Structures are given as structure tokens and as C-alpha cells.
Chain A
């Protein structure tokens, strides 16, 4: 009897999970499908899900009208740049907070998180003015800096929770085994911390890739990443759904593929500590 109930429950849970999963994924699927329609079919009512004339013309036109690869390379540089810079700051910071905590470490962590509670638009004007006066507007370096700062609190927290899980006794054991500081870092600490650093890196790349507020407000043409590329198709006339969809699909494809191949690492990273 108990077994029957658990099977039924398992089926319910499975169906529920699929329904939620498909609901969440549906807008993305719809976008991808629309990108293969003609503009007329894209706004047809009732819409057809699969029964339409598949066409690639939107992709051709989008590539003709704007330079995908320039936006793409901007996105790559900005997201990787801000991730590398962010990790360079966050790793030592999280390290010292996890292994040599001081009286105020907890407060500092809370303060860092609290900066994420301020809506970004609240500091748009001052940051815009600073960028204008320092010549950082519409530069990749400017975006790297601002995205580093935006994500820094989150990745520092994430790394902190990782490092804290590394038992101090293992480091002490290494010391007793004759390891000097350098050997300890290279042979013991780093290998144990690498899974955590890797998932933090992935998450930061994704966050930076998709960041739209700052990238739209602080760029014009030169440094515009893929978010600006998408935005340029959402014109007020609103008649270009198919092209907008094609642009969106092209923008999310790289990060989707990256996410797909690293999903195991990502899930492990995001649930770390929760399941242990």
C-alpha cells in the first residue's frame, strides 16, 4: 500500500515538475520559434506553434542590418573581463573572511549584501555623470568596471560559503606534513576550492552576459554588447517580432550552450551547502 502511494506521488511530482519546467521555458521556446517565422506569421492570430513556413530570412536580415560579431565580442570581453577582475578581488576577500575571520566579518558580509538592495536606477545619474566626466561612457573598460562592482557582493558571498566548508584541520594537517604556505595553497587549498571557484565563475559570466540595465544605459555604439543588439530591434513601431526574436535567439545561444555543458557544475555550485 505504502508503495502504491509513493509511486502515485512520484508520478504527480514528475508531471508537476515538467509543467513548471515547460511553463518557464515556454517564452524562450516561443522566441526561438518566432525567429523562424515571417513577420506576418509572427503576428498572425491565432498563432501557429509549428505549422508555418520555416524561414531563415530573419537571421540573414539581422546580420545584414547590424554587426552581430561586434556585439558578440563586446559581450565576451565584458562578461569575461568583469568575471576575471571580480574573482581577483573576491577570492582573497572571501579567503580572509573564511579563514581569518575578525570581529566584524559578519557585519561586512551583511553590508555587502545590503548594497544589492538598492535599485540600480537610484545611482544611475551619479554613475552616468562620473562615466561622462572620466570618459568611460560607451567603453568596454567602463562596463567591465561597473559589472564587476555589480556582481562582486554576490560572488564574494558565494566563495565565502565555499571556503568556509573547507575544514581548517586539513590545512593544519598539511602544515604538520611539512607544507610551507606555497605548497599548502597549491597542493591542498586550490584543488579543494576549484569546484567552488569554477561555479562562481560560471554564474558570474552568465549574470554579466545578461545584465541589461547598465549595459543599455552606459553604451551607445562602440561598446554595446548583445543586450543592446536585442534592444535595437524592439522599436516603438513594434512590427518586427520575427527579427527581434532572431536577434534574441542569437544573443542567448552562446550562453545557453555554455550553460548546457556546465549545468552539472552549476547546479552543484548553486546547491552547495544546502544538500550537504
Chain B
């Protein structure tokens, strides 16, 4: 069991409201990712759910029970911090066993569970070391181990991978996804990395300045962004957003088209411009094309594209892949 419901939750620090009234429902077993730019309130929202911050108003329900006033130790949630927050004076074994000790489990049972968690996370050889003697990735595993042993109702992750190098990050991302599949426990995962969000989530919550910009599956957000903010935030490289006469021609204030939905044509197209910077990734090439009166558009081309700086190109947006937004930034059908 691990359903969480936020009902008109707000949070203010002093006189600044960081979270305006916010409603959100998380089903049991879901992998939910909170994503948004720095300072938008992701950590604050997670800490409100954890109980590490008190809500200013509103209600938090866990498993259908009002938990607004429940202290963090009684909410049945486990958290993995960005800084890992391991206990430096305890061995890895004791770190992982700590929540079990708090739950007053018998020592033999504790040992059994710690051994199990350690073997799942490849930590068996490190059980008697102190956290200070481990690498970043190993510390991260210990933090996860400490979270899984007590079989919580839900896991909360606050940017757990941001201190790891790129390769390790991809690995850990897969491990956490696998963990979710095995345990089928609710997970709430905070990140500002939209690639992590897209690859891991069942459901993405895009936050902008404390309010929810859109909730949906990764593909929903990709195909049907509800507003300009989500359109620009989800997808890599970013969606091209164009205002002015081209947008007005389509009865919109802003139109958006993703780099992968623009084709380069030999003769004549919607836009013509000159190639600026091109980024060769091997599989793809991202061309930055400067179009007069529109600005710079990013275009995805094949890896072997033979265009060079200063070459003139014509661009055609794919039929039916153009997103239209009104003056308030909301998507139009």
C-alpha cells in the first residue's frame, strides 16, 4: 500500500509562498517523477510529503488516512537524499540496519535482511566499512539499501544521482527502475534532468514556480504538452518555439515544432536560413539554423549530413506535428 494524496497543500517560508494551493494524487505502485527547473519547489514538495517540512495549509493523505500532522518517523516512507546522508560513525552494516533497529526488529532478523539487501545491491564485500571509505556510487547504494530494508509504503528520492558521473548515472538509473519493477512500491523521484524523468517515470509531474504545469505519462507530455512551459521543458534538444507572422498564419500566438519533426529540403520550404553551429553526435547531427525574422531553429538531421557552417538550407515542419499555443501559453486544439 502506498497511495498519497495532496489536497490544496500550500507552503510559505515567511511571507514568500513557495507552493501555491496544489492538488495531486499518486496511486499505489506508481513511479512518479517531479521535474522542473531549479528553485521551482520540487524538494520542498517532497519534504512536505516526507513530513520534514510542515504544510502551511492543506492536507496530506497517506493510504487514505490524514497524515498532515504525523511526524516523519511515523509516516512509513523512506527517503534517499542527494547528499546520501549516511551515518558517518556507523559501518555500512549498521547504516542499513538502523531503520530495522528503530523498528525494534530482533537482531537475527535484522542481519538476515541486511545480508539480503547487500547482496541485491552488490554491497556484501563492503558491509564492515565506514561510509567515508566508499566511492560515491557505493554510498548511493548504501543509501538505497537503508531505504529498502524496512519495506516502506513509498520511496522518496531527492536528486539521488546528481553527484555521480554520467556513466554511473545511467547505470544507477537502470538499477532504480529495476528495483521499482521488483518491489512494485510507490516511488517519488525528484530531478531537474528531463532525460531521467522521461526514462524512469510512469507519471511525470512538471512543476513551474511551485504549481503543477502538467501531469501525465512521458509520451503524453511529449506529444501533447499542455502549455509552452512543458513544451519547452520536455524533450531534448528543446522544442523550437516561434512567434510572430508564422504563428499568426496558423491562428496561434506561438507555434512549436520539435527538432526531430523538421525536414531539410533541397528546394524551397517554410523557412530558409543559414547553418550556424552543428553538433555531431555520430547517430544524429543537430543543426542550428539562423532564419531571418524567426531566430535560431534547431533541426535534427542524420549523422552523415554534409552541411557546413554558412550553407543555405530550407526547412519544412512535418505535417500534423506543429503545436499551437494561445497568448496565455496554453495549447490549442
Chain A: residues with CB nearer than 8 A to chain B? 167, 169-170, 172-180, 183, 187-188, 191-192
Contacts and interface: CB of A to CB of B under 8 A. Distances in A.
Contacts of B72: 172, 175-176
Contacts of B81: 169, 172-173
24 contacts: A167-B83, A170-B85, A170-B86, A170-B87, A170-B88, A172-B79, A173-B87, A175-B51, A175-B73, A176-B52, A176-B72, A176-B73, A176-B156, A177-B73, A177-B102, A178-B74, A178-B150, A179-B73, A179-B102, A180-B71, A187-B98, A187-B101, A188-B87, A192-B89
A264 B50 CA distance: 41
B258 to A, nearest CB: 38
Nearest to B52: A172
B78 A176 contact: yes
Given A169-B83, A170-B85, A175 B52 contact: yes
Nearest to B71: A175
A187 B98 CA distance: 9
Contacts of A172: 52, 72, 79, 81, 85
B229 to A, nearest CB: 30
Contacts of B88: 170, 192
Interface in B107-165: 146, 150, 156
Contacts of A191: 89
A96 B72 CA distance: 21
Contacts of A173: 79, 81, 85-87, 146
Contacts of B77: 176
Residue among A169, A178, A192 with max Cβ neighbours from chain B (10 Å): A178
B99 interface: yes
Chain A interface secondary structure, helix, strand, loop or mixed?
A: helix
B281 interface: no
A178 B147 CA distance: 11
Contacts of A187: 98, 101
Interface string B92-111: 00000011011100000000
B15 to A, nearest CB: 14
Contacts of A180: 71, 73
A101 to B, nearest CB: 14
A64 B171 CA distance: 78
A75 B258 CA distance: 80
A179 B102 CA distance: 6
Nearest to B158: A169
A177 B98 contact: yes
B85 A169 contact: yes
A183 B102 CA distance: 8
A129 to B, nearest CB: 48
B79 A176 contact: yes
4 closest A-B pairs by CB:
A178-B102, A173-B85, A177-B99, A169-B85
A67 B26 CA distance: 78
Nearest to A194: B89
A183 B83 CA distance: 22
A183 B146 CA distance: 17
Given A187-B98, A191-B89, A192-B88, A177 B146 contact: yes
B200 to A, nearest CB: 21
Given A173-B81, A173-B146, A183-B102, 16 more contacts: A167-B85, A169-B81, A169-B83, A170-B87, A170-B88, A172-B81, A172-B85, A174-B87, A175-B51, A175-B72, A176-B77, A178-B102, A179-B102, A180-B71, A187-B98, A187-B101
Interface string B21-52: 00000000000000000000000000000111
A170 B86 CA distance: 7
B52 A178 contact: no
A273 to B, nearest CB: 16
B85 A178 contact: no
A265 to B, nearest CB: 16
Contact of A176 (B50, B86, B87): B50
A129 B88 CA distance: 51
A118 B304 CA distance: 78
A179 B71 CA distance: 10
A174 B143 CA distance: 12
B53 to A, nearest CB: 10
Contacts of B71: 175, 180
A73 to B, nearest CB: 36
Contacts of A169: 81, 83, 85
B73 A178 contact: yes
A169 B158 CA distance: 12
Contacts of B50: 176
A177 B87 CA distance: 11
A177 B89 CA distance: 16
Contacts of B98: 174, 177, 179, 187
B75 to A, nearest CB: 8
A109 to B, nearest CB: 22
A263 to B, nearest CB: 22
Contacts of B83: 167, 169
Given A167-B83, A187-B98, A177 B52 contact: no
A173 B89 CA distance: 14
